[in-house]
């Protein structure tokens, strides 16, 4: 997949562009439906399947007090979109200048003049342009004027609930990672660099990898989780803790993500790993002594090993 950070020059390189418009945070089942249909249409007309998006999220620029953490890093989002068959990824820097572009101007100057789009795919609730004034109807009117087709994708319903990034975000804020998977189409994950921690896991007999994810990324609710951890050597079962280590810190500590990897004996410091959340085992708890904590950790590990016997989750790849 080719990545561009400008729309300039694309029209001359790619013809019959079939473009999906949106933020695509999470690349959830609704996004996947849209992308799969645009890829299919691009193949039908021998065109180029493309996604047009922006970064940072508009709320960061226009409404920072209402900004929500992202479900995926930009790299993870691009990787998932590429796996769906998109050949061209256009990521435009979102700033106040871009925000002032009116909907008619966006349709004429960017979609028609700069990109020369053939077909556009949008979600059922997509808006665009200055103050979100652009609607699907306006885009269709522009398409009739400039000669491109607009396809509006209907919502995806799971368990009587419309799939949306906002709903998935709320599930993860509650630690409902298994439920989130039903809407994402994959198990939620966090990736980052392994950094030095307090070494407390080693002292307790359960060494952990302390993860430093990107600051803009959503971390599930505090608690203990059954996870799988992807490292360079392969994928391993593990127990992850998200929290402030209340047993050892009287005052509130910063949120920490650490994972004990079962049956792994290598050195992960300063290496990139991915923690995939499968099930929340329990809430974070303050224990009366390190010995009581050790007993609980052993039980958590037993739960994960039991879970692994009855849940065939061997082929997780993203």
By residue range, what is the domain housing residue 203?
187-310
Whether residues 153 and 237 share a domain: the answer is no
Q: What is the pLDDT of residue 198?
A: 66
* pLDDT band at residue 253 using 50, 70 and 90 as cut-offs: low
Q: What CATH number should be reported for the domain holding residue 205?
A: 2.40.30.30
Whether residues 68 and 197 share a domain: the answer is no
195 in a structural domain: yes
22 in a structural domain: yes
Domains contained in the chain, number: 2
167 in a structural domain: no
43 in a structural domain: yes
168 in a structural domain: no
Whether residues 54 and 151 share a domain: the answer is yes
Whether residues 237 and 296 share a domain: the answer is yes
39 in a structural domain: yes
Q: Identify the domain boundary among 158, 178, 209.
A: 158
Whether residues 6 and 154 share a domain: the answer is yes
Give the pLDDT mean for 258-279: 92
Q: What is the pLDDT of residue 106?
A: 96
Question: 199-237: per-residue pLDDT in tens?
Answer: 565 556 688 899 988 888 999 999 999 999 999 989 999
pLDDT higher than threshold 90 for residue 102: yes
Q: What is the pTM of this model?
A: 0.91
269 in a structural domain: yes
Q: What CATH number should be reported for the domain holding residue 14?
A: 3.40.50.620
Tokens 């020369």, residue?
116
Whether residues 66 and 206 share a domain: the answer is no
pLDDT higher than threshold 80 for residue 318: no
Q: What is the pLDDT of residue 105?
A: 97
pLDDT higher than threshold 90 for residue 116: yes
Whether residues 214 and 268 share a domain: the answer is yes
Whether residues 245 and 154 share a domain: the answer is no
Q: What is the pLDDT of residue 185?
A: 96
DSSP string covering 208-240: -EEEEE-TTB--PPSEEEEEEEEETTEEEEEEE
Q: What is the pLDDT of residue 255?
A: 84
Tokens for 79, please give them: 């990787």
* pLDDT band at residue 248 using 50, 70 and 90 as cut-offs: low
Whether residues 15 and 84 share a domain: the answer is yes
Whether residues 151 and 10 share a domain: the answer is yes
Whether residues 136 and 222 share a domain: the answer is no
Question: Average pLDDT, whole number, for the chain?
Answer: 91
Whether residues 144 and 276 share a domain: the answer is no
Tokens 């949106």, residue?
22
* pLDDT band at residue 249 using 50, 70 and 90 as cut-offs: low
Question: 2-12: per-residue pLDDT in tens?
Answer: 999 999 999 99
**CB-based burial label for 215 (10 Å; 0-12, 13-18, 19+):** exposed
* 3-state DSSP percent of the chain in helix, strand and coil, to 5: 35, 30, 35
pLDDT higher than threshold 70 for residue 250: no
For 66, how many CA atoms within 13 A lie in the half-sphere containing its CB?
6
179 in a structural domain: no
Question: 160-193: per-residue pLDDT in tens?
Answer: 999 999 999 999 999 999 999 999 999 999 999 9
Give the pLDDT mean for 68-84: 95
């Amino acid at each position: 997949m080719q990545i561009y950070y400008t729309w300039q020059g694309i029209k001359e390189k790619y013809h019959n562009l079939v473009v999906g418009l949106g933020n695509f945070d999470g690349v959830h089942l609704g996004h996947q439906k849209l992308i799969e249909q645009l890829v299919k249409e691009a193949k039908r007309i021998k065109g180029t399947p493309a996604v047009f998006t922006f970064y940072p999220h508009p709320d960061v620029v226009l409404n920072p007090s209402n900004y929500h953490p992202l479900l995926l890093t930009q790299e993870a989002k691009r990787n998932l979109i590429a796996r769906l068959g998109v050949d061209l990824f256009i990521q435009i820097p979102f700033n106040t200048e871009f925000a002032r572009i009116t909907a008619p101007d966006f349709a004429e100057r960017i979609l028609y003049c700069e990109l020369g789009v053939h077909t556009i795919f949008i979600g059922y609730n997509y808006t665009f342009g200055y103050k979100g004034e652009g609607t699907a109807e306006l885009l269709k009117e522009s398409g009739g004027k400039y000669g491109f087709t607009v396809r509006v994708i209907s919502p995806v319903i799971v368990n009587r609930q419309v799939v949306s990034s906002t709903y998935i975000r709320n599930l993860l804020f509650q630690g409902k990672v298994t439920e989130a998977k039903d809407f994402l189409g994959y198990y939620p994950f966090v990736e980052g660099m392994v950094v030095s921690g307090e070494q407390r896991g080693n002292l307790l007999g359960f060494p952990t990898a302390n993860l430093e994810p990107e600051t803009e990324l959503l971390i599930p609710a505090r608690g203990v989780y059954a996870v799988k951890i992807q490292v360079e050597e392969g994928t391993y079962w593990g127990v992850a803790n998200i929290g402030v280590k209340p047993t050892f810190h009287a005052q509130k500590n910063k949120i920490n993500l650490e994972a004990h990897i079962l049956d792994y004996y290598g050195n992960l410091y300063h290496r990139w790993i991915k923690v995939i959340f499968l099930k929340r085992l329990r809430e974070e708890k303050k224990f009366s002594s390190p010995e009581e904590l050790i007993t609980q950790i052993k039980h958590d590990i037993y739960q994960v090993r039991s879970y692994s016997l009855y849940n065939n989750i061997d082929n997780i790849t993203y």
